Amino acid sequence: MTPYEKFDKINKKGLLMNKKILIDLGKRLYDKNLTVATSGNLSIKTNECIFITATGTSLGNLTEDDIVSMNTEAQELDGKKASSEKILHCEIYKQRPDVNVIIHTHPVYLTSFASCHKALNEPIMSETVLYFEDIPVADYAMPSSLKLVKNTVKYLKQKDVVMMANHGVIAIADNIEHAFSKLETAEYYAHVTLNALLLGGGKHLSHNDIKDLMKLKKGLG
């Protein structure tokens, strides 16, 4: 029995539901200017397999045929070609069992900071201190390469949002809404940081302010 024949026994309703989830997510990202043209890729992990966008697809205009099913070893199960970043997705899922959704896109402001190799680590907004503490930049490596996987996953063991030098950003979470919220908030953080720099530089929260925020974060769980 071929991998596809085995996979084809999965409940059809669940298969279509997960494809629709990624289609809807791609449209939301496009509508919010968090993705452009055919850049980026998405995936969702289920008990049966990993659903990932196909290579060369536009996230804002996905169809069911643009969603590929693969196993945790990045082997396609349905005869279609998955995103070239499929190994990165699989490795993240292996390193972070708590993660079920991965978003990789090239939004304008985060990609601008990534292109300058500038981490987002200025404590100028209480919300982003609570949400991220900081957003690092993984060292540059060729897209789709094993070196890119190594450079990026190193940070994602501790962080949920990481910029990729001269490339874009990746956000991970336990569900779709959390992943989308993290990416949207990170792009907002990058936008505000840039505006603050243009206005002469944001005023940092004090050390005591940050300590209080960390206490609040711990209390909120």
User: Strand pairing of 168-173 and 50-53?
Assistant: unpaired
Q: What is the DSSP string of the chain?
A: --HHHHHTTS-HHHHHHHHHHHHHHHHHHHHTTS--TT--EEEEE-SS-EEEEBTT--GGG--GGGEEEE-TTS-BSSSSPBPTTHHHHHHHHHH-TT--EEEEE--HHHHHHHHTT--B-----HHHHHHTS-B-EEPP--TT-HHHHHHHHHHHTT-SEEEETTTEEEEEESSHHHHHHHHHHHHHHHHHHHHHHHTT-PPPPPHHHHHHHHHHHHHH-
> So what's the pLDDT on residue 6?
47
More confident residue, 221 or 162: 162
Nearest to 92 by CA among 22, 19, 178, 173: 173
Out of 10-24, 25-39, 61-75, which region has the weakest mean confidence (pLDDT)? 10-24
Query: Taking 50 as the threshold, does the pLDDT of residue 139 lie above it?
Result: yes
Q: Which domains does the chain have, with CATH numbers?
A: 3-220 (3.40.225.10)
**Which two three-digit tokens encode residue 211?**
């300590």
Residue 191 has pLDDT above 70, yes or no: yes
> Each residue of 203-221: pLDDT tens digit?
999 999 999 998 888 877 6
Mean pLDDT, residues 153-165 taken together: 97
Please determine, for residue 58, whether its predicted confidence score (pLDDT) is greater than 70: yes
State the pLDDT at residue 17.
80
The residues that are catalytic are: 85
Tokens 């190594």 locate to: 150
Q: Decide if pLDDT at 3 tops 60.
A: no
**Entry pTM:** 0.91
Strands 161-164 and 137-138: parallel
Task: Choose the weakest-confidence range: 6-15, 24-33, 96-105, 203-212.
Answer: 6-15
- State how far the Cα of 171 lies from the Cα of 160, in Å rounded to an integer: 6
Please name the residues in contact with 188: beta carbons below 8 A apart, sequence gap of 6 or more.
Answer: none
Higher pLDDT pick, 152 / 2: 152
Distances (CA, A) of 81 to 51, 58, 77, 105: 12, 14, 10, 19
pLDDT for the residue 22? 94
Q: What is the pLDDT of residue 80?
A: 86
